[in-house]
Structure 1
Amino acid sequence: MAYIPIFLDVTGRDCVVVGGGEVAARKVESLLEAGARVTVVSPRLSPPMESSAANGSVIHIARDYRRGDIRGCVLAYAATDDPKLHRELAAEARALGIPVNVVDVPELCTFIAPAVMKRGALQIAISTGGASPAFAARLRRELEDRFGTEYARTLEVLRAARHRLHADEIDPAERMRRLKDLANSALPDAIAAGDVAAIERILATHLGDGVDLAALNLARAEFSH
């Protein structure tokens, strides 16, 4: 079985999680972080999801899953201990054209959830094609040691630089060249060191004289140690 890696925008879109345990709670958490509107179908909820339902973060349908509960959603997760329900839900999702993930049953999935390492806007997704989620988790931990918080800050700078060059109406080819050179510079090392002077030298080199953190609407104090 082969998969194509994608990142799906679920902001403000309806997603359904069937199940109320700890595994389901992790799926809910990731969906909420992505800005989705989440409905949970389960007679009972784990304490974290009880809190989410109580504060209105999720819609809780407090009963067993019924056919039609996923209709209209863009993504569905099944995380229960009922294999029969999983098969029925997966078949319904396929019939409706809704991507579905049945936890720990890759043959029922139309997508699988990767292990994800996050640093701000940076996300690195790791998949073993369902062969070993535990090994994917190991690789994620190794990446977490490799990529520090400086990468989140680097992306803040790169995003601001991109907006600045667009606003300046730079020739597209020149804009691309400058942004590529900035992305390949020592910017992450300078940010990791908290060396504001070095950061601003790099910015001036690649974006033009006078372009510093303030010119990008970024606070210098947030980049110094």
Structure 2
Amino acid sequence: MSAIPMMVDLAGKRTVVVGGGVVAEKRVKTLNKKGVFITLISPSLTSTLKCMIDDEKISWKKKRFSEEDVIDAFAVVIATNDLEVNEMALQAASQVPLINYAPDVDRGNFSIPAYFSRGKLTISVSTEGASPMLTARIKADLEKGFEDDYGQYVDFLYECRQQIKRSSLPKVEKQALLKHLLQDTYKSPDQQKIFKKQLETIAEGEGVT
């Protein structure tokens, strides 16, 4: 697969996972972290997936896969341990926009990389299946550099950027302000409050709408 990293919003899109084992569980947990509602197709499930159903995070059709299960689906993940079922699902999903084929990622058209989020910040890692263990190690190393409160800093940058964009400041001054905000000092909530007050003063004087 010659893959290009992309961000896809699956909210409100029909997403089907064929399979109920450990691999399917991993895919479901990854997708569910972003609020994707999933329909599972499988005669049986892992205990973790059953708990997710009890919590109404996913729905389950307790059955063997059939072609009608992927009608109108926007994304399909095929992850059973039955080669015949996998092949049947892959053929049935030929017109589905997004297909993830767990046994061989090259036979689908999208993969689900390891990732972590801090608010609006999302960082993903992929070795395109070459070494899942290396992917996990790199992800763990990266997470150490972005603590849980990093999302609050990103939110601060977003709010300031929106206000600066709306201002009547010259473009060069807008860019200078945005670059200035990348200094580590603004990771401090106290410094963020100070800058926001300064930005309000700029807004009043420069006509932020």
1:13 corresponds to: 13
Task: State the percentage of identical aligned residues.
Answer: 25
Counterparts of residues 139-218 of structure 1 (less than 5 Å): 139-165=138-164, 169-171=167-169, 173=171, 176-177=174-175, 180-187=178-185, 189-191=187-189, 196=190, 198-203=191-196, 207=199, 209=201
Alpha-carbon distance, 1:209 to partner: 3.9
Query: What are the Cα deviations for residues 160-212 of structure 1, in whole angstroms up to 9, with x where unaligned?
Result: 2234345x544583685256224422245435xxxx1x33344456x35489x
8 Å Cα contact 1:18/1:41 also seen in 2: yes
Task: Please give the secondary structure, in 2, of the residue aligned with 1:125.
Answer: strand
Distance 1:24 1:183, change over 3 A: farther
Query: What are the Cα deviations for residues 132-168 of structure 1, in whole angstroms up to 9, with x where unaligned?
Result: 12211111001011222242111111222234345x5
Which letter maps to 1:36?
V
Which letter maps to 2:75?
L
1:137 corresponds to: 136
Structure 2 gap segments, 5+ residues each: 204-209
Partners of 2:8 and 2:170 lie apart in 1 by 27
Partners of 1:202 and 1:96 lie apart in 2 by 51
8 Å Cα contact 1:101/1:110 also seen in 2: yes
Per the normalisation by structure 2, the TM-score is: 0.83
Partners of 1:68 and 1:175 lie apart in 2 by 57
1:51 corresponds to: 51
1:125 corresponds to: 124
- The structure showing larger relative contact order (alpha-carbon pairs under 8 Å, at least 6 residues apart) is 2
Query: What are the Cα deviations for residues 20-73 of structure 1, in whole angstroms up to 9, with x where unaligned?
Result: 123222322232332223100011111222122234322210011111211211
Alpha-carbon distance, 1:89 to partner: 1.8
Alpha-carbon distance, 1:6 to partner: 0.3
Partners of 1:25 and 1:172 lie apart in 2 by 51
Higher mean alpha-carbon deviation, 58-67 vs 148-157, is at: 148-157
Which letter maps to 1:50?
K
Structure 1 gap segments, 5+ residues each: 212-225
1:101 corresponds to: 100
8 Å Cα contact 1:151/1:188 also seen in 2: no
The CA RMSD over aligned residues, in Å, is 2.6
Distance 1:143 1:6, change over 3 A: same
Distance 1:29 1:176, change over 3 A: farther
Which letter maps to 2:43?
P
2:26 corresponds to: 26
Task: Please give the secondary structure, in 2, of the residue aligned with 1:124.
Answer: strand
8 Å Cα contact 2:161/2:178 also seen in 1: no
8 Å Cα contact 2:73/2:96 also seen in 1: no
8 Å Cα contact 1:42/1:64 also seen in 2: yes
Q: Work out the number of aligned pairs and report it.
A: 203
Alpha-carbon distance, 1:13 to partner: 1.6
Per the normalisation by structure 1, the TM-score is: 0.78
